[in-house]
Amino acid sequence: MEFRDQALAARDAAQVLAVTPTGVKNAALHAMADALLACTEAILAANAEDVRTAEANGTSASLIDRLRLTPERIGGMADGLRQMAGLADPVGDVVRGWTADNGLRIRQVRVPFGVIGIIYEARPNVTADAGGICLKSGNAALLRGSSSTYASNLAVVEALHQGLRAVGLPETAVQLVAGPREVTDVMMTARGLVDLLIPRGGAGLINHVVQGSTVPVIETGTGNCHLYVDVDADLDVAYAIMLNAKTQRPSVCNALETLLVHRDVADAFLPRALRGLDEAGVTVHGDERTARVSKAVVPVEEGDFEEEWLSLDLSVKVVHSLDEAISHIRRYTSGHSETIVTDSRTAADRFVAAVDAAAVLVNASSRFVDGGEFGFGAEIGISTQKLHARGPMALLEMTSTKYVVEGNGQVRA
Amino acid sequence: MEFRDQALAARDAAQVLAVTPTGVKNAALHAMADALLACTEAILAANAEDVRTAEANGTSASLIDRLRLTPERIGGMADGLRQMAGLADPVGDVVRGWTADNGLRIRQVRVPFGVIGIIYEARPNVTADAGGICLKSGNAALLRGSSSTYASNLAVVEALHQGLRAVGLPETAVQLVAGPREVTDVMMTARGLVDLLIPRGGAGLINHVVQGSTVPVIETGTGNCHLYVDVDADLDVAYAIMLNAKTQRPSVCNALETLLVHRDVADAFLPRALRGLDEAGVTVHGDERTARVSKAVVPVEEGDFEEEWLSLDLSVKVVHSLDEAISHIRRYTSGHSETIVTDSRTAADRFVAAVDAAAVLVNASSRFVDGGEFGFGAEIGISTQKLHARGPMALLEMTSTKYVVEGNGQVRA
């Protein structure tokens, strides 16, 4: 099917979904989960095909690992859909409402966007996750996955369609967008057909979508996250948070990338910190002051501060003041999550007010900046943009609003 | 000054504004209003220059009317700033907040966007209005007005700067962007320097900005507004709302453009409706059924239904059912404001659920869809997009949020 026809079918499906009761959407999510499990064999066979092609193309082992499905991973996808069924449905919520002096009753009500396009890389689990979050929020999904996972994605979507059919919802509520590379560009400029685009993947994909789209985009972005150890920090707290934020899962966007240490606590903190990092297998890219502490320190280069390492690497710098820390963060932040460790209320308040990011943390690990940890359930990503959604983008952020104005014949004077 | 330097100066100003107390911002708004009045003579002289140039260029009388300032209009700009001072400041509001199981205290707090660019046409009053709404919401403003109002805008901004200086705020909080046409394109692609762009003007300007921007845009759009007179309508109510929505101020986006009448009330409603419209000077572009009622009816052409007339013209069509009315609106709506007149709860509920627009009205004139009428005070426009802001875009919609996460050493397991 041509993209335009798919998009028009999605619009029709969106009109159905917008008025589908929560109970029916939840039943669909459970039926989709059942169908995923029932189709495990077919999905694994399709996935094996994708893996063979990827191996023949010389794809890296880590990419193949992201691409490969197992019965456990399919079970995880099904569990994700069942959890989605358990979350509150934001559609229909009244955001605010009042009665005007002239008797008009005005309500701002949550409604789905309509048609949401998701453009993503080689992770077949995104197909089920994104389909589920769109369905629960009443949106039709146009899923544009990587061509390297096409067979897997198709098998997953066929299972999702079985679930939709089981409860009488249109299959066109969740569609896989096929076709050559140019189709992505058609999707990005389908203004009026697609209400919102969400790219999920690396910086290259996100930039391509942001630069080329005329459809509104939510940027789920990179995380160049900083931790500032203040002069008034509890150094045990700082040590625990540093190790957790850097090493608990280094490949994710809320992991730590740069450590800033106030010079007056550098002597007390750095030797222990560098020892701990070394034991955890972290390569420290440090400034001169840091390098004096340990021979293992690699000299930090200016460009390193712009780096989202996503690996067991950490940039470290000693600063003269809270203000210097704030200036450094202002210059290099990607606007994701920034942390201060301090016992000073004044320093914490100043840091929170001055640092411009989706999340600003005081005495806690940035690894908590996550839809699940915030109690929102599943998320489609962490938005680093300021428009519409900032931070974890969960069900609530997958909705728009409309005003409903009810009167008994009011006209404007 | 080059645009990039202006934008960097705006970023610095935005950091000051983000932590400026409400009282200081309100004092600035009053000082700006005082300065506008004190500078009336200089502003009028600059404006006379713009008007002379426009007249020499053969500009239309209606455009010159929009461009021309009078002492009364300058007084209106000053009053607008004082009213802005009286509105609640959204910055710092806690949108939601909770304590997680692990003791983390999490708050979602309203913050300014940072730097907002406004691109607008030949209305010098927008300079003061936009500067005021940005300042109150803690945002630095980069104002890109039409070259035909440059002298007027410059004189207005100089007055605003006097007001900012009077309270010790940086002049760079409100800047006029000068230079040739290409500067607009530089502004539209200044991702990372400008946080949000708002075009204010006709469809041509808005499309240009939407198509060419990589900076996030809020579309304040056109209004192709419909009124559907249901079979269960109170026809007196329908008549009053129709006349009000069409004629009270035909040139604005929430005015009525198309009337849809259920065929079973056409005989009872149309003769009276056409008489009233004729007396009000409205040209009716009607379908065959409508044309049978009055010789004054001009045959409607298919393209007319796409028309935002913005004049004393009205498209009229007789429909067979509520569903046909909804289908027509789905096809032609610009997503602004759509109205049903009915006494049937079932019909009203179905219309409200099925019509996708910023505002859906039952038994009330679409002229009420307005920031002032909604009680929001001043607005920068009516957003017809679904991302971030939909409907009147007032102070609240000029803000983003950040999460503040406070703990005592929590790390993720």
pLDDT in tens, chain B (413 residues): 799 999 999 999 999 999 999 999 999 999 999 999 999 999 999 999 999 999 999 999 888 988 999 999 999 999 999 999 999 999 999 999 999 999 999 999 999 999 999 999 878 999 999 999 999 999 999 999 999 999 999 999 999 999 999 999 999 999 999 999 899 999 999 998 999 999 988 888 888 998 889 999 998 878 999 999 999 999 999 999 999 999 999 988 999 999 999 999 999 999 999 999 999 999 999 999 999 999 999 999 989 999 889 899 999 999 999 999 999 999 999 999 999 999 999 999 999 999 999 999 999 999 999 999 999 988 898 999 899 999 999 999 999 999 999 999 999 99
**Chain B residues within an 8 Å CB radius of A216:** 216, 385-387
Distances (CA, A) of A224 to A243, A255, A338, A344, B392: 16, 8, 9, 25, 35
Min Cα separation A330/chain B (Å)? 10
In this complex, is the C-beta atom of A19 within 8 Å of any C-beta atom belonging to chain B? yes
Q: Which of B195, B391, B406 sits opposite A386 (nearest CB)?
A: B195
A191 to B214: CB separation less than 8 angstroms, yes or no: no
Question: Which A residues, 161 through 200, put their C-beta within 8 Å of a C-beta on chain B?
Answer: 191, 195-196
Residue A47 main-chain phi, psi, to 5 deg: -65, -40
Min Cα separation B72/chain A (Å)? 22
SS3 readout for B91-149? CCCEEEEEECCCCCEEEEEEEECCEEEEEECCCCHHHHHHHHHHHHCCCEEEEECCHHH
Which residues, 6+ apart, have CB-to-CB distance to A71 below 8 Å?
A40, A44
Question: Which B residues, 283 through 312, put their C-beta within 8 Å of a C-beta on chain A?
Answer: none
CA distance A175 to A160: 10
CA-based torsion, B380, B382, B384, B385: positive or negative: positive
Residue with tokens 């949550």: A110
**Chain A residues within an 8 Å CB radius of B374:** 100, 106, 403
**Chain A residues within an 8 Å CB radius of B368:** 100, 104, 405, 407, 410, 412
Q: Which of A360, A391, A400 sits opposite B390 (nearest CB)?
A: A400
Work out the end-to-end distance of chain A between its first and last CA atoms, rounded to an integer number of angstroms.
52
Q: Which two tokens stand for residue A235?
A: 């150094």
Best residue in A386, A390, A398, A404 to probe B by mutation, most B CBs within 10 Å?
Answer: A386
Half-sphere exposure for B365 (CA within 13 Å, toward CB)? 24
In this complex, is the C-beta atom of B363 within 8 Å of any C-beta atom belonging to chain A? yes
CA distance A13 to A6: 10
Instruction: Specify the pLDDT at position A123.
Output: 86
The pLDDT tens digits of the residues spanning A79-129 come to 999 999 999 999 999 999 999 999 999 999 999 999 999 999 878 999 999
Task: Identify which of B111, B92, B127, B114 has the alpha carbon closest to the alpha carbon of residue B215.
Answer: B114
Closest chain A residue by Cα to residue B356 = A402
Q: Which two tokens stand for residue B222?
A: 């056109």
CB atoms within 10 A of CB B307: 17
Q: Which two tokens stand for residue A103?
A: 């008797």
Picking from A56-60, A170-174, B238-242, B341-345, which range would have the lowest pLDDT averaged per residue?
A56-60
The pLDDT tens digits of the residues spanning A189-201 come to 999 899 999 998 8
Q: Supply the Cα-derived Rg of chain A in whole angstroms.
A: 24
CA-based torsion, B365, B368, B374, B379: positive or negative: positive
In this complex, is the C-beta atom of B73 within 8 Å of any C-beta atom belonging to chain A? no
Domain ranges of chain B: 3-220+388-406, 225-368
Q: Which of A18, A210, A374 sits opposite B106 (nearest CB)?
A: A374
**Number of cross-chain residue pairs from A and B with Cβ atoms under 8 Å apart:** 205
A403 to B364: CB separation less than 8 angstroms, yes or no: no
CA distance A11 to B190: 33
Q: Which of A195, A360, A388 sits opposite B404 (nearest CB)?
A: A360
Half-sphere exposure for B144 (CA within 13 Å, toward CB)? 25
In this complex, is the C-beta atom of A248 within 8 Å of any C-beta atom belonging to chain B? yes
Q: Supply the Cα-derived Rg of chain B in whole angstroms.
A: 24
CA distance B298 to B278: 12
**Chain A residues within an 8 Å CB radius of B357:** 402
Distances (CA, A) of A30 to A26, A123, A140: 6, 22, 17
Note whether A221 and A310 are within 8 A (CB): no
**B3-220+388-406 CATH, one of 3.90.870.10, 3.40.605.10, 3.30.70.890, 1.10.150.80:** 3.40.605.10
Mean pLDDT for chain A?
Answer: 95
The amino acid that residue B131 corresponds to is G
B405 to A368: CB separation less than 8 angstroms, yes or no: yes
CA distance B167 to B250: 41
Best residue in B95, B207, B384, B411 to probe A by mutation, most A CBs within 10 Å?
Answer: B411
B412 to A386: CB separation less than 8 angstroms, yes or no: no
B386 to A356: CB separation less than 8 angstroms, yes or no: no
Closest chain B residue by Cα to residue A247 = B412
Closest chain B residue by Cα to residue A102 = B373
Min Cα separation A182/chain B (Å)? 18
**Chain A residues within an 8 Å CB radius of B388:** 387-388
Instruction: Specify the pLDDT at position A196.
Output: 95
Min Cα separation A270/chain B (Å)? 18
A405 to B362: CB separation less than 8 angstroms, yes or no: yes
Taking residues A58-62, what's their average pLDDT?
89
Residue B101 CB burial class (10 angstroms; 0-12, 13-18, ≥19): exposed
Instruction: Specify the pLDDT at position B55.
Output: 95
CA distance A36 to A76: 10
In this complex, is the C-beta atom of B344 within 8 Å of any C-beta atom belonging to chain A? no
Banded pLDDT at A46 (limits 50, 70, 90) = very high
If phi over 0 gives left and psi between -120 and 50 gives alpha, with beta otherwise, what is residue A314? beta
B403 to A373: CB separation less than 8 angstroms, yes or no: no
A368 to B410: CB separation less than 8 angstroms, yes or no: yes
Fold of A225-368: Aldehyde Dehydrogenase; Chain A, domain 2 (3.40.309)
CA distance B257 to B250: 9
Tell me what ipTM this predicted complex has: 0.94
Instruction: Specify the pLDDT at position A114.
Output: 97
The pLDDT tens digits of the residues spanning A153-166 come to 999 999 999 999 99
A237 to B409: CB separation less than 8 angstroms, yes or no: yes
Min Cα separation B277/chain A (Å)? 16
Residue A301 main-chain phi, psi, to 5 deg: -105, 155
Q: Higher confidence at residue B221 or residue A282?
A: A282
Q: Which of B106, B196, B368 sits opposite A104 (nearest CB)?
A: B368
**Chain A residues within an 8 Å CB radius of B364:** 104, 405-407, 409-411
Which residues, 6+ apart, have CB-to-CB distance to A177 below 8 Å?
A3, A6, A117, A142, A143, A144, A183, A187
Instruction: Specify the pLDDT at position B88.
Output: 96
Task: Identify which of A103, A76, A392 has the alpha carbon closest to the alpha carbon of residue A254.
Answer: A392
**Chain B residues within an 8 Å CB radius of A364:** 104, 405-407, 409-411
CA distance B25 to B13: 13
Min Cα separation A365/chain B (Å)? 5
Q: Which of B374, B387, B402 sits opposite A359 (nearest CB)?
A: B402
Instruction: Specify the pLDDT at position A344.
Output: 98
Residue A404 main-chain phi, psi, to 5 deg: -110, 120
B353 to A18: CB separation less than 8 angstroms, yes or no: yes
Question: Which B residues, 206 through 245, put their C-beta within 8 Å of a C-beta on chain A?
Answer: 210-211, 214, 216, 218, 234, 236-237, 240-241, 243-245
A364 to B248: CB separation less than 8 angstroms, yes or no: no
Instruction: Specify the pLDDT at position A259.
Output: 98
CA distance B251 to B193: 35
In this complex, is the C-beta atom of B362 within 8 Å of any C-beta atom belonging to chain A? yes
DSSP letters, B28-67, are HHHHHHHHHHHTHHHHHHHHHHHHHHHHHTT--HHHHHHH
